[in-house]
Amino acid sequence: MNILITGATRGIGKAIADVNIKMGHQIFASGRNEELLKCYENYCACDLATIEGMQKLGEHIQANNIEVLVNNAGEFLYTPALKGFEIKDLEHITKLNLEAPLYLASKAIPYMKKQGFGRIINIGSISGVMGEANASLYSATKAGLIGATKALALELAEFGITVNTINPGWVDTDLGNSSCDDSDFSKEEIVECIPQRRFVSPSEIAGMVKYLISEEAKGVTGQSINLCAGLSVGY
């Protein structure tokens, strides 16, 4: 299968690419860091927080018969509301975390519809399910993905296209560790609040993606799947 993964240069996206390369799938990778992208046969370097970057990747999708789109690229922003929000932060996080996934999905859907098969998988966050203090902009973009997932799943169900969002809790990546640094709590204190007392590993998210792509998951659509070591359940 032709699988496009955004944010495949490191972290969760890299783990998703590794698993699918092992499965024999053709990977189309994107990110900003061209040096890191060179480990892939097919890649598109672009900044998805810009309209030009979205359009460039949209054209790449249309040119490559993409059957599976994994909208993974994203950033966390520490934005205490008491300090006031900057317009540039609002625009940046909304473009990257919400607008780009929707725009790219719209570019992938026509080929998927023609094939009668497609998978759109968004990487959301548990912060879009639960509230996260000092991260309302990030939480809002991730909650937006959940709403869009349900709407798209309804629109595309009759064409064999499924749409789902995976909501990771704390994951051991650059983003996970730097958002710990932004937090008022130490990593040890954060781990104490997670029911399984651990961060999720990127390979666990990749395993869920592998399942959602599979034939067995064809009936799973419009879902928001929490993969968070129990964080969403309470403590």
User: Of 211, 85, 170, 36, nearest to 45 (Cα)?
Assistant: 36
User: Which range binds ligand NAP by CB under 6 A, 32-40, 62-70, 155-163, 184-192?
Assistant: 32-40
175 binds ligand NAP (CB under 6 A): yes
Q: Are 34 and 45 in contact (CB under 8 A)?
A: yes
79 binds ligand NAP (CB under 6 A): no
Q: SS3 for 182?
A: helix
| Residue 211 bears catalytic tag | no
What's the one-letter identity of residue 19? V
User: How far from the centroid of its chain's Cα atoms is residue 6's Cα?
Assistant: 8
DSSP states along 189-229: HHHHTSTTSSPBPHHHHHHHHHHHHSGGGTT--S-EEEEST
Which of residues 12 and 148 has its CB atom nearest to ligand NAP in the complex? 12
Which of residues 35 and 158 has its CB atom nearest to ligand NAP in the complex? 35
99 binds ligand NAP (CB under 6 A): no
75 binds ligand NAP (CB under 6 A): yes
164 binds ligand NAP (CB under 6 A): no
Residue ranges in contact with ligand NAP by CB under 6 A: 7-13, 31-33, 36, 47-49, 72-76, 96, 123, 125, 168, 170-171, 173-176
